[in-house]
Structure formats: structure tokens, C-alpha cells
Chains A and B, each alone.
Chain A
Amino acid sequence: MDNVTVAAPAGAQHTAGTTKIGWGVPILIAAGLALLVLGPWLFGGYLLSILIKAYFFAILAVTVDILWGYTGYLTFGHSAFFGIGAYAAGLMFLHQGFSGGTIALGLVLAIVASAALGGLVGWLSFYRGASPFFATVISLVLPIVATQALLSGGTWTGSSSGITGYETFAFSLETWYWISGGLMAVVGLVGWLIVRSDAGRLLTSIRDNEERCSYLGINVPRVKIILLTATAGVAGIAGFGYGSFSGVVAPELAGFVLGTELIIWVALGGRGTLWGPMIGAILISVATAYLSSSIPFAWQLILGTAFVLVIVLLPQGLIPLLIKPFGLHGQAGKIPELVERAAPETHAGTGPTALDMQGVTKSFGSLNVLQGINLNAEAGELIGLIGPNGAGKSTLMRCMSDGAARTAGSVHLCGRDIERRPPEDCVRFGLGRKFQNANIFETLTVAECLRMAGTTLEKPALFRRQPQLALPPYALEVVRKTGLDAKLGTVAQDLSHGEQQALELAMVLGLQPKIVLLDEPTAGLTKTERTQIGDVLSSLAHKYKLCCLLVEHDLDFVEEIATRTVVLHQGEIVMQGSFQEVVNSDLVKTIYSGAHPAGHEESN
């Protein structure tokens, strides 16, 4: 695929959210690393051992932040994976003895068992149409089941008192401090690289708008399952380290209380920042260790109160507020350079029919919203779908783009049967759908939104940000005509209504679809924007030979651009043909209940 640079990036244009990174970050990172290296000379033995445990907890907090802060999956059960890791160490060393072999075996077991359980929980929690509540509910059950399993293990797991007295690493406190601190730094760094990378944007996109992700061809449940599996594995490693260091493992490590404490650390530290939860976990663990002996109940009360206050008043957490003066706030990366992706070859009229619907019916109980719809559309056609409110236009669009939507009948996209497949598969078959309300990722920048549209075509980089953003020529045309190329660094929710609509259209076109569905693309647009959209759609159909279908109430607009007009009334296609044939027919006049076609009357 040859990429040609066509537009210089708006380099000078530092719009909202792209402030320069100041000296604050390097100084803070250096200070943190210095503490990790010099700790043993600065802290006493008691504090050191607390910090070692706190660092293992901080690793766990980072994984919870990736799941909750970035991806939007609220979990109360991540402690279970930590517990499994800790018990893998304890059980292995107690029952098999302590040797090089058992260390390796225990570590592998910790990772594999937690990751496998993570995958299972992911399968249970994430499926098409699952509510986010449901996943959270499952995450509640997990630590309870895990704790009960450990409790009923009898002498093998030590029941409620856990296991202790096993031989473990004979490292000094200093060594342990460096090991746990180093592990935390590595996990933090890898996490930071991932969440900043193009693949990391995927997580934020899922949090912002799962529906849009799925209509960009992304298999959201699979991404979440993989993510949970991976973070569970990391939690298992942290647990293994904790179990090896402390020499005591107890069912509480896998329990519900630790799971909810994690959420408190992450919330107070600042969700979605990685370092916030890390610092939150460390500070709160240390404070708890000191204060729980002097003011045990009051300390928990203070924590609980602080938690409620932060959730209500400061959802971003405390630490971002403290660090703000250092200029860490709102760091956005470089704005990528726009390049053109070679347009796919087009052979109008040779390939299979772009869209083929046979006998499609949709009913809710005894009410038929659609019945016996037969509709064909070829590449290069621009079809206007009109009909009064409640005719079933939007339902028809849904039946084209989601295999689960229709009750009966068949739909083929570019010759492939969509069966009962989810939207992401329909997108892979060549469909792109633009919704009526701008359906975008509100907290991502324009460039990031556009990048997401290419996820199915170019695998996003896991640890980097691509310096270039490739789009097919027609998507570039939209971006440039509407002036979005000058706003690549702007956060999508700050765009005007028309710009958001244009962005969504550009995202849909970025998929390089063969069929484009548009639901009322002109609603709420200014006259200029409307003309622009009209030009774009005409060129899509005529120049690039895409098949376009639009639902539209603005009949003038349909007259201007449509090559064929389809009239839907009470769930049936009552007529199709050229615009003039349709609007002059008596049937359509009756449907729109007047002597004149409604649209003409209004606009003249």
C-alpha cells in the first residue's frame, strides 16, 4: 500500500488538550526512580517491608486502572487473581519444597492459572449485548467463590488461617525492595507505553462508545477478554511476589474486601492516569499500616469518607489535582501527519450485488415493523430511502447492519450471508454505517477517532504511536473540505454539531466500505454543510463506485443526488424508481397525505 503525503500537519496549531509537556514529568519520574534505588538507605526496616508489600499492591492497582479507568470495566474481583498468584507460591513451596524447579513451576502456575481464570471470567462477563452492570456483578461473585474455595481446601490450603512457615527466598529486605520496586516500575512503564499507544486508544474508545467500536469492525468482547486475561496474568505475578516475600498467604488476599480496596486506591489516586493509582496504592497502604494500630476505626472512617467525597465531587481523583502545577495535565501526543491510502480497486458491475435483502421481516410480537422486504443495490448506486415517520426506515437500516436484528429473511453484503452475525462482522463484509446522531468517541481527538476507523485495516501499534495517519482519498476529501484537517488535535466533544457529523462520516469512510448507510445525514446541518455532504456522496457513488443508501426526510436533497428512490410505508416497500416517478405517483401523494409531495411544499 503506497502512502503519499498530501497534507502537511497543522504543526503550529496547538489546540485544546495539546499543551506541551514541561519539565514536570522528567523531574517526577527521576524523583520516583531515585526513591526506588535509594530506598534501603532512606527507610527503616519496618517501613521497607511495608513498602515492598505496597509495591506489589501498586502493580495490582495499575492493572485495575487499565481495566476500569481506561476501558470502563468496573471490577471488584481483581484481587482473586492476586490471591491465586500468592497461593501458587505458598502451596508450591509448602508442599513441593523450595528449589529452582519449584520456583519456576510456581511462577508459571501463578501466571497460567490466573490468566486462565481471567479468560473464563471474561467469557462469562463479556458477550454481545451484555450490560456493563453484568460484568461488574460477575466480578463480585469471583472473589467470593475464590475465598470459599480456599476456605474449603482443608489442611491443603490451610483453610481460614491460610498457610505459613514455608521456605522462601533468603533475600535481604534491600533486595526485596529493589525486586518489588523494579517490577512495579517495569509494569508501570509497559502499562504507560500501552495506554499511550495506538492500541491503547482502543481501550478508551471502548469506554467512550462500544457501539461505535463495534460498527468500526472491532470485536469488543474479544478485546475485553484478552485484556482481562493479560491483566489477570500480571496480577498473578504480583501475587506470587507478595506470597514469596511475606511468607504468609491467607484467603483475604483473594477476597472481596481487597477487591474493593483496590477500587478505593484507584479512585482516590485518579483513575485513568496509571501513576495516580500507583501512588494512591502506596500511600494508602503505608498510611494504613501506621494508622491502623493507633486509630484503627477512625482511619477506615476517614478513608470511606474521602472515597465518597472524591466520587461525588472529584471524579478525577486527588493526585492529578496535586500534580497539576507540574504541567502534567492533559498531555496529548504529536499530531500525526495525514497521508493518503491508495483507494481499493473498483470494478463496478462485475462483483456480486453490494446489498441483497430477501424477504426480510422484523416483528415485535404480533406487530410487523417490516415485512417481506426485497431490496437490491449495486455498486455506484445512491439510493434515497424515504417514507413517513414510523415507516420502518431505521429498522431496515438496522437489519442490514446487524445480523441479530431481523426476525426472518436473508441479507447478503457483497455476496456474503450475514446470518446472525454481529455488526463487526457486517463491517468486515464491507458495510459502513453512519448514525443519525453523531456517534463518535467524545474524549478522543479528531486524529485518534480517525485512527480508530483504520483498526480493521492496519493493526494498531501496541507500544507506539504512528506518526502518520492514512485515510482513503474520499475520507481525506471529507476531512479537508470540512476543515477538520486543521483540527486534528481537537477533542471530539469540543467540535460543532456539523463537524462531529463530518467526523463520523470520515470515520465511516475510513473503513473503506463498499456499502455506506447514512441515517438522515443532513439533519441539523447548515446550507453550506448540506451542499458539501451532497457533493461528497455524489462523488462516493459516481467516482469511487461505492453503494450508498440514505434515509432522508429532506426530499429536495434526495432529488439532487439520488439515482433511485425507494418508498417505505408501514413496513413495506411500496414503490421504487426515479425521484420524479416516485413523487408524482398518486400512491406516494396519498401516503404523504396531501396533493403535493410534502418536501417540496415546505421548501418552496
Chain B
Amino acid sequence: MALLLDWLSTAGILFIVASGLLMIFGVMKIINFAHGALLTLGGYTAYVVTQLDLAPWLSWPLALFTGILVGMLIEQFVMRPLYKRPLDAILATWGLSIIIGQLIVMTFGREVKFADTPLPGTWSVAGMDYSAYRLLLILVAVVLCAALTALLSGTRFGVKTRAVIMNEQLASALGINAGRIRFITFSLGAGLGTLAGTLITPLSSLDPAMGIPWLVTAFMLVMVSGHSMLSLMVTCVVLGACQMLVSTYTTPVLGGLSIAVLSALILRIRPKGFAYG
């Protein structure tokens, strides 16, 4: 039972962390390397909220708002000139992550920090006590997945976005403002990144480099899953299980590597990942 809950919450956390990256990759075919730094930024938002003695819940909307704001700035000033050079766009986002990371270090220092949990204690599931916050994250992941799927497939914005994904030239010719779609998706993706950072912070400590290990994992999950939120969820559940089994039965070190290595092998055998098939 504990194993099952571990598995589901691991998958949920993976989904939360990767969804913002997928949002941006899906529309722009650009990997946002600043995602790791955005996670860190979200984590420090939670820390600020804790320091100010505000209700820990407040960190969620605050992080989302900060991320969207940062995303808007990045899109306007850095990404816009680089859409024709996708590999350079990746590099520029890496440079941005250095900048964000250093600004965080200069503001908060290098020391490990902690943030309050919005939901302390445990809940009892089938006669067993389990961390309430981890259970909450499963719920958050499901809600997030449903909301994003609804946004991308049910709304006008979603239809336009899919039009841009499929054929940007045609979409532009039909009067869809592809630039604005990109602007919105990038900002939203960045916001999801910081939100994810806030959400995962109570599970561990906080330091300026906390985003980097997550970045690679999230990156591989997105590459394997293609461009739908549902397939990302499936990927997270499958690979989350692998990670958990490997960590439980061998060493956590191997567990941490399992997602990256497995994804690389999956992509070598099925270059298009799970999405088409």
C-alpha cells in the first residue's frame, strides 16, 4: 500500500514538474532550459512567504504570478528574436537560467533554507498513515492535467494553439496571431514551472541549485511523451514506477538515473516516443 502511494505521488510530482516544460516544448519546439531556474525561483517564493509569516497557501498564486511575469519578460526580450534558430534558443534559456540562479544566490545566499508546508500531518488511507501533503500533490497533478487538457482541447485558445503547432504558416495566414499564442504559452509554461517549484519545496530543502536535477528528468519525460498532457501523465506513471522500483530495490542513486537512461533508450528504439503509439 505504501508502495502504491509512493508510486502515485512520485508520478504526480514528476507530472507537476514536467508540465510547464511540455507546454513550451509542445507549441514552440523549444526546450526551456531556464525551467530548472524557474523551479528554484518558485521554491524561493515559498521561502519568502514563510519568512513574511503569511499563510503558506499564498505561495501558490504568488509563484504562478511571478513565473508568468518572468516568462513574459523572457519571451519579449530574449526568445522572440530566436524562433528561427531553435538550438540557439535553447542556449539562450540556459544563459537565462545562470542569470536567474545567480540573482537568487545574491539575494538569498548559498545556504540551505526551508519553507513551511501548507498541509502538515498525515492522512489515513486504508488504515495507514501517509503524508497528507504528498497525497495532496497527487490530487493537484490530476487537477492540473485535467485543467491543461481542457484548456488545450476545449477552448478557443486551445484550438488556435493546436493550429500553430500543426502548421504555423497556415495558421498565420488564417489570421491567428502566432506571436501572441507563443507569448501566452511561454508565460504560462514559465508560470507552471515556478508553481511546480513551490509545490515540491515542502518535500525537501531549498538551495540555489535545486532545479538542475529536476530539469534533466523533466526534459526526458517531455521528450518521451510528445505533446499531449495525457501522454505526459502516462509517461510519468510508467517511468515513475521504474524509478521507484529501482530506488527501492537497488540504490537511490540508480533510481535517480533510471528515468534519464530509460528515456534515452526508449527514444533510441522508438524515436517518436509514446505519443504516436
* B-binding residues in A (CB < 8 A): 74, 124, 127, 129-134, 136-138, 140-141, 144-145, 148, 151-152, 256, 260, 263-264, 267, 297-298, 300-301, 303-305, 307-308, 311-312, 315
Contacts and interface: CB of A to CB of B under 8 A. Distances in A.
Interface string B235-277: 0000000000000000101101100110110011001000000
A442 to B, nearest CB: 14
B39 to A, nearest CB: 16
A261 B251 CA distance: 30
Given A131-B271, A134-B267, A141-B220, A312 B98 contact: no
Interface in B77-117: 78, 81-82, 85, 87-88, 90-92, 94-96, 98-99, 101-103, 105-106
Q: Is the interface of A mostly helix, strand, loop or mixed?
A: helix
B216 interface: yes
Contacts of B106: 297-298, 301
Contact of B88 (A130, A141, A144, A311): A311
- Residue picked from A137, A141, A305, A311, most chain B C-beta under 10 Å: A311
B223 interface: yes
Contact of B95 (A74, A134, A297, A308): A308
Given A144-B216, A263-B91, A297-B105, A133 B264 contact: no
9 pairs of A and B residues whose beta carbons are closest in the complex: A304-B98, A308-B95, A307-B95, A301-B102, A304-B99, A311-B92, A141-B260, A297-B106, A300-B102
Given A267-B91, A308-B92, A311-B95, A137 B220 contact: yes
A311 B102 contact: no
A290 B145 CA distance: 49
Contacts of B60: none
Contact of A311 (B91, B212, B223): B91
Given A152-B253, A311-B91, A301 B99 contact: yes
Interface of B: 31, 78, 81-82, 85, 87-88, 90-92, 94-96, 98-99, 101-103, 105-106, 212, 216, 219-220, 223, 251, 253-254, 256-257, 260-261, 263-264, 267-268, 271
A314 to B, nearest CB: 11
A148 B31 CA distance: 24
Contacts of A300: 98, 101-102
Contacts of A141: 216, 220, 260-261, 263-264
Given A308-B78, A312-B78, 19 more contacts: A131-B271, A134-B223, A134-B267, A136-B90, A137-B219, A140-B216, A141-B220, A141-B261, A141-B264, A144-B257, A148-B257, A256-B216, A260-B94, A298-B106, A301-B99, A304-B99, A307-B98, A308-B95, A315-B88
Nearest to B99: A304
Nearest to A299: B102
Nearest to B253: A152
A421 to B, nearest CB: 18
Nearest to A310: B95
Contact of B102 (A130, A132, A137, A297): A297
B98 A137 contact: no
Contacts of A144: 216, 257, 260
A420 to B, nearest CB: 16
A298 B95 CA distance: 14
17 contacts: A74-B90, A74-B91, A124-B264, A127-B268, A130-B271, A134-B223, A141-B260, A144-B260, A151-B253, A256-B212, A264-B95, A297-B106, A307-B98, A308-B92, A308-B99, A311-B82, A311-B92
- Interface core residue of B92, B103, B263 (most chain A CB under 10 Å): B92
A405 to B, nearest CB: 16
Nearest to B259: A141
A137 B95 contact: no
A68 to B, nearest CB: 9
A276 B165 CA distance: 37
A160 to B, nearest CB: 11
A137 B224 CA distance: 11
Most buried by B among A297, A298, A315: A297
A169 to B, nearest CB: 34
B157 to A, nearest CB: 26
A145 B98 contact: no
A137 to B, nearest CB: 6
A304 B220 contact: no
Given A74-B87, A256-B212, A301-B106, A145 B31 contact: no
Nearest to A145: B257
Contacts of B92: 308, 311-312
A104 B152 CA distance: 60
Contacts of B91: 74, 263, 267, 307, 311
B95 A304 contact: yes
Contacts of A134: 223, 267, 271
A1 B94 CA distance: 53
A129 B271 CA distance: 8
A298 B106 CA distance: 8
Contacts of B103: 301
A124 B98 contact: no
Contacts of B263: 141
B102 to A, nearest CB: 4
Nearest to B223: A137
Contact of B223 (A132, A133, A312): A133
B173 to A, nearest CB: 19
A134 B90 CA distance: 13
Nearest to A130: B271
B78 A145 contact: no
